[in-house]
Amino acid sequence: MYLMIEENPNCRGEERVFATNGPLKPVNAVQLDRPNLGATWCDVVGVLPNGTFTSAQTRLVDDSADGTAWLITGGEWGLRLRLKSSTEPWDLNNTLQWGEPFLVMDSGGKEIQ
């Protein structure tokens, strides 16, 4: 699987190749290490080129470091994240939210909901 996210208003551009190992599954939240917060649960959605939001998904992929890992992807503009405690709507201009092209998470999957 060739994954390419071009530079956009949500996140930096990045491209990588992954060998997929399973079907897509929906994902709503991930646990990430955040500066000054430690391990924190975050909501996650995909971002489409018109700035609208869609569901995020995950699937197992081959990972050179760990053998297998979970690849979390969103729309053509990557992923949008916010702290799980946030009640604010998704917004590309909200500085309390942030974008990532995609995430690669531990194969154990306990950091993914």
Exposure letters 65-94 (e unless 16+ CB within 10 A, then b)? eeeebbbbbbbbbbbbbbeeeeeeebebee
Taking alpha carbons only, the member of 42, 39, 17, 10 closest to residue 27 is 42
Taking alpha carbons only, the member of 57, 68, 64 closest to residue 23 is 57
Q: What is the mean pLDDT of residues 29-41?
A: 91
pLDDT digits (tens, 9 = 90+) for 58-113: 999 997 776 899 999 999 999 999 999 999 999 999 999 999 999 999 988 899 99
- Its pTM stands at 0.94
**Residues linked to residue 73 through DSSP beta bridges, in sequence order:** 57
Report whether pLDDT(42) > 90.
yes
Domain ranges of the chain: 2-106
